[in-house]
Amino acid sequence: MTTPMASSPDDTPAPVSWRIDDAPVPYPDALAAMENRVAAIRAGTAPEQVWLLEHPPLYTAGTSADPADLLAPDRFPVYAAGRGGQYTYHGPGQRVGYVMLDLIPRGRDVRCHVHRLEEWLTRTLDAFGVRAERRAGRVGLWVARGGGREDKIAAIGVRVRRWVTFHGVALNVDPDLSHFGGIVPCGIREHGVTSLWDLGHGVSMPEVDTALRESFEEVFGTPIPDQPGCRSPSVSP
């Protein structure tokens, strides 16, 4: 059991707890657990948490999802996610990171939070020799494959309630990439998807988890004013 931790008197966030599940977690169970954790964080009865897990094969629909982008509605279960974004796929071989943080001591800036999630994944992938990049107008991280081709390697979708974040990121380690064919991932038709293994990096999930933890401390342990992209206030949730 993790002991709840409150913020220190100078509003520096207390250490974030980590949870890693080895067995696939059903999506409704994950949603319920996040709801409970977010409420506890706001009540001050539980510390912030990063939860690393995998899901069984499924599709999720964000608040901006276009029904026309669900190409195979009977292929896998489809869930309304409540997060921002459009359709995405989750399944074995994909490391999902649910990030439940209190933004009050972190600047009350949702745009900055998304930027830091992107930076977290960028540094994680860099640890394996993969250069992932942001693209204007496209949320997530992209890998240039040459000849103008770009493939998505990581998705980001967040929700914020009373300044506590949930949902988070999905990094393609070694999923079955054909499973993405049942949707238009994130509503983008002109580009594809890739993974670490697809790019020739046969890393294990524990290795990815280690890199995620190290990169998280680098990014979220750095004061916000020192990070580009973290100076524009966002609309209150």
CA gap 196, 128 in Å, rounded: 8
The residue to which tokens 């509003």 are assigned: 11
| pLDDT of the residue at 83 | 87
| pLDDT of the residue at 224 | 60
Domain around 36: 17-220
| pLDDT of the residue at 147 | 85
Going residue by residue through the chain (237 aa), what tens digit of pLDDT does each one get? 333 333 443 455 578 999 999 999 999 999 999 999 999 999 999 999 999 999 999 999 988 899 999 999 999 999 999 888 889 999 999 999 999 999 999 989 999 999 999 999 999 999 999 999 998 877 789 999 888 889 999 999 999 999 999 999 999 999 999 999 999 886 667 688 999 999 999 999 999 999 999 999 999 987 665 556 665 433 333
In a domain, 10, yes or no: no
In a domain, 8, yes or no: no
| pLDDT of the residue at 8 | 41
DSSP string, the chain: -PPP-PPPTT-PPPPPEEEE-SSPPPHHHHHHHHHHHHHHHHHTSS--EEEEE---SEEEE-TT--GGGBS-TTTS-EEE--SSSSEEEE-TTEEEEEEE-BSTTTTS-HHHHHHHHHHHHHHHHHTTT---EEETTEEEEEEEEETTEEEEEEEEEEEEETTEEEEEEEEESS--GGGGGGB-GGG--S-EE--TTTTT----HHHHHHHHHHHHHHHHTS-GGGSTT--SPPPP-
Q: What is the pTM of this model?
A: 0.88
Domains identified in the chain, total number = 1
In a domain, 137, yes or no: yes
| pLDDT of the residue at 230 | 66
Structural contact between residues 219 and 120, judged by C-beta atoms closer than 8 angstroms: yes
Numbered residues of the known binding site: 83-90, 155-157, 168-170
Tokens of 45: 């009865």
Tokens of 3: 């002991």
| pLDDT of the residue at 74 | 96
Q: Catalytic residue among 132, 186, 196, 230, which?
A: 186
Numbered residues of the known binding site for substrate: 83-90, 155-157, 168-170
In a domain, 174, yes or no: yes
| pLDDT of the residue at 137 | 76
In a domain, 237, yes or no: no
In a domain, 226, yes or no: no
Phi first, then psi, for residue 86 (nearest 5°) are: -120, -140
In a domain, 133, yes or no: yes
Is 230 an annotated catalytic residue? no
The residue to which tokens 């897990």 are assigned: 53
Integer-rounded Cα Rg, in Å, for the chain is 17
| CATH label of the domain that carries residue 148 | 3.30.930.10
